[in-house]
Amino acid sequence: MKKTIKDYDLSGKKVIIRCDFNVPIENGIIKDESRIKKSLKTIRYARKQGAKVILMSHLGRVKTIEDKEKYTLKPVAERLSKLLRKKVKFINETRGQNLENAIDNMKDKDVILIENTRFEDLDGKKESNNDKELGKYWASLGDIFINDAFGTIHRSHASNLGIASNIPNGLGFLVEEEIKKLTKLTNKPRKPYTIILGGAKVSDKIGVISNLITKADYILIGGGMAFTFLKAAGFNIGSSLCEREKLSYCKEMLENYPDKLILPIDVITATEIKDNTKTHERFINEIEEDEMGLDIGPRTLEVFKQYLDDCKTIFWNGPVGCFETKGFENGTKELFEIITNTKAYTLVGGGDTARAATTFNYENKISHVSTGGGASLAFLEGIELPALKIINEKK
Ligand code: AMP
């Protein structure tokens, strides 16, 4: 068992909490604050115990100087101040005298948010490549490190693995909860157990398909990734997404597991991805050369429903259509309706799928919406998660 925040006396201590504030922000406005809200329990607990709370997080991918304006965590500090009803002091730097002075001047229960850890990526990818000196420096700012960012738990970054390698550490409530919920799927899941996979690419999901095909009863495939499978099965997919280098993998999987991998039988097509564009409902042998398949069709939903109705466990990662665009949201929306009407334990993972659950108002009807996409897939695949492994064991 891993140590958690509850295993430490936090009173008067400088507690660094690695949060996941990787939220969509447009022109300074936070579009979905669920990740911020999910981090509150750990932050509130640390404050209640009298800690000096130092928050860190990444936001987006920072590749150029211009990205700094787009990916500043300042709006998160403002939102957090309101949610906590306590001023969160924002430090617009990731290191230096100003940051160190601010920490030295903290009183118990004060909260500081440090600027986006990935700003350090502009200097030789120090955060993402777990630069040893950076991890050591950040660790020197606190007494205890709490990892509450599940979305990056499968990564070896300076702000998780790096800090944890240098000071006493434990898990926050959010990560503890994620692990408890995901373990229901790895430790003898109740059967029938069906997995739904969607999203853009097959390549992102190969690990999970190969690993879970023997553990789950069925894998239902939708989204852009379905078309590489459909092409491998011999269909003409027109201009739909296709990963040519993955065709032989898809073909082999379809040959080995013909009754377990379930593909769409009809799709919604269009010649452009645009709100309210002209769409067609096509059986998969009717897709025209200039058309892209952008959602699953109504007959596929009927087929998927048959596989899902009696399930006891359902895991879903990746939207089955371009749900962000009007005209291609129906498949994803209806699939939420289907799974939330079963008696199954339902677990939805991944940024886009979680966002779709919120958009269509199904968030509260699902047993667990995971904050991590890649992380939840890695957990289910049984891959070692470096930022979890490093956390101290309970004695
Ligand atoms: P991922 O990040 O791989 O989970 O992909 C999520 C994205 O896949 C969403 O933004 C969807 O719009 C997109 N998507 C879903 N279905 C399709 C499709 N049939 N063709 C192209 N993109 C799709």
pLDDT at 121: 98
pLDDT at 280: 98
pLDDT, tens digit (0-9, with 9 covering 90-100), for 102-147: 999 999 999 999 999 999 999 999 999 999 999 999 999 999 999 9
In a domain, 85, yes or no: yes
Least confident piece of the model among 184-188, 284-288, 320-324? 184-188
Same domain, 131 and 197: no
pLDDT at 209: 92
Q: Which atom of ligand 1 is nearest to the CA of 267?
A: 19
* Mean local confidence (pLDDT), 197-226: 92
- Tell me which residue has its CA closest to atom 17 in ligand 1: 224
Residue 350 Cβ < 6 Å to ligand 1: yes
Tell me the pLDDT band of 175, cut-offs 50, 70 and 90: very high
Pocket test for ligand 1, best of 322, 332, 353, 376 (most atoms within 8 A of CB): 322
Same domain, 71 and 199: no
Residue 241 Cβ < 6 Å to ligand 1: yes
pLDDT above 90: residue 187: no
Tell me the pLDDT band of 32, cut-offs 50, 70 and 90: confident
Total number of domains constituting the chain: 2
CA-wise closest residue to 272 among 280, 282, 283: 280
Amino acid at 8: Y
Residue 297 Cβ < 6 Å to ligand 1: no
pLDDT at 43: 98
Same domain, 260 and 370: yes
Helices (H), the chain: 34-38, 40-48, 67-70, 74-84, 97-104, 132-140, 163-164, 173-186, 206-212, 226-232, 247-256, 298-308, 330-340, 351-359, 374-381, 386-389
In a domain, 192, yes or no: yes
- Tell me which residue has its CA closest to atom 7 in ligand 1: 199
Helix 74-84 / helix 40-48 crossing angle, nearest 10 deg: 60
CATH of the domain at 167: 3.40.50.1260
Same domain, 54 and 154: yes
In a domain, 46, yes or no: yes
pLDDT at 371: 86
pLDDT, tens digit (0-9, with 9 covering 90-100), for 345-358: 999 998 889 989 99
In a domain, 367, yes or no: yes
Same domain, 124 and 146: yes
Same domain, 137 and 225: no
Per-residue tokens: 263: 């593909």
CA-wise closest residue to 199 among 237, 167, 243, 161: 243
* Mean local confidence (pLDDT), 31-57: 96
pTM recorded for the entire structure: 0.90
pLDDT, tens digit (0-9, with 9 covering 90-100), for 248-283: 999 999 999 999 999 999 999 999 999 999 999 999
In a domain, 181, yes or no: no
Same domain, 162 and 212: no
- Tell me which residue has its CA closest to atom 6 in ligand 1: 199
Residue 331 Cβ < 6 Å to ligand 1: no
- Tell me which residue has its CA closest to atom 18 in ligand 1: 224
Does residue 208 or residue 126 have the better pLDDT? 126
- DSSP secondary structure string for all residues of 58-108: --S---STTHHHHT-SHHHHHHHHHHHTSPEEEES-SSSHHHHHHHHTPPT
Residue 372 Cβ < 6 Å to ligand 1: no
Same domain, 149 and 198: no
Percent of the chain with pLDDT over 90: 92
CA-wise closest residue to 296 among 222, 219, 198: 222
Residue after which a domain boundary falls, among 142, 174, 206: 174
Same domain, 214 and 356: yes
Same domain, 111 and 197: no
pLDDT at 202: 87
Tell me the pLDDT band of 158, cut-offs 50, 70 and 90: very high
Task: Tell me how far the alpha carbon of residue 251 lies from the centroid of ligand 1, in angstroms.
Answer: 21
Residue 321 Cβ < 6 Å to ligand 1: yes
In a domain, 389, yes or no: no
Report the alpha-carbon distance of residue 72 to residue 74 in Å, rounded.
5
pLDDT, tens digit (0-9, with 9 covering 90-100), for 383-395: 899 999 999 999 8
In a domain, 180, yes or no: no
In a domain, 391, yes or no: no
- What is the residue range of 316's domain? 188-381
- Tell me which residue has its CA closest to atom 20 in ligand 1: 224
Same domain, 349 and 279: yes
